[in-house]
């Protein structure tokens, strides 16, 4: 059974940073393409970015609102996906999910809450 478990969320002031983690099990993580998706109260689901597997080039793509502020990475030796978030803004307040990227988003974690507020 595939399990994705996010962690690292919390309350942060505008301009601050957080690093989210997503621990994967039950899948061949190194072969998987992975997304970060967020759920915001006003906008619904919003794709944040994707990282391909290293064997497929390891390309990383970002949504325009986070490009230059967020960075996705992966540690295939630990089966962990990361989202480094810098320069956080109030509009980044959301539940952040990691998902697999294959014919849609088949597997989702339970999410981790990020609140950006002064």
Partner 1 sequence: DIVMTQSPDSLAVSLGERATINCKSSQSLLYSSNNKNYLAWYQQRPGQPPKLLIYWASTRESGVPDRFSGSGSGTDFTLTISSLQAEDVAVYYCQQYYNIPRTFGQGTKLEIK
Write out the residues near partner 1 by the rule CB under 8 A. Answer: 35, 37, 39, 43-47, 50, 61, 63-64, 97, 101, 103-106, 108-111
Task: Using the minimum distance from each CB to partner 1, give the nearer residue, 28 or 45.
Answer: 45
CB closer to partner 1, 17 vs 25? 25
Give the chain as a 3 state SS string. CCEEEEECCEEECCCCCEEEEEEEECCCHHHCCEEEEEEECCCEEEEEEEECCHHHCCCEEECCCCCCCEEEEEECCCCEEEEEECCCCHHHCEEEEEEECCCCCCCECCCEEEEECC
Shorter beta-carbon distance to partner 1: residue 29 or 96: 96
Q: At its nearest, how many Å lie between partner 1 and the CB of residue 80?
A: 18
């Amino acid at each position: 059974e595939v399990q994705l478990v996010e962690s690292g969320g919390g309350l942060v002031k505008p301009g601050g940073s957080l690093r989210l983690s997503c621990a994967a099990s039950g899948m061949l993580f190194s072969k998987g393409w992975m997304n970060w998706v967020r759920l915001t109260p006003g906008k619904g689901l919003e794709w944040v970015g994707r990282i391909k597997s290293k064997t497929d080039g390891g390309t990383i793509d970002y949504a325009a609102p986070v490009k230059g502020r967020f960075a996705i990475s992966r540690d295939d030796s630990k089966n962990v996906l990361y989202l480094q978030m810098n320069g956080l803004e109030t509009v980044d307040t959301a539940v952040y999910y990691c998902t697999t990227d294959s014919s849609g988003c088949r597997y989702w974690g339970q999410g981790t809450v990020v609140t950006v507020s002064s």
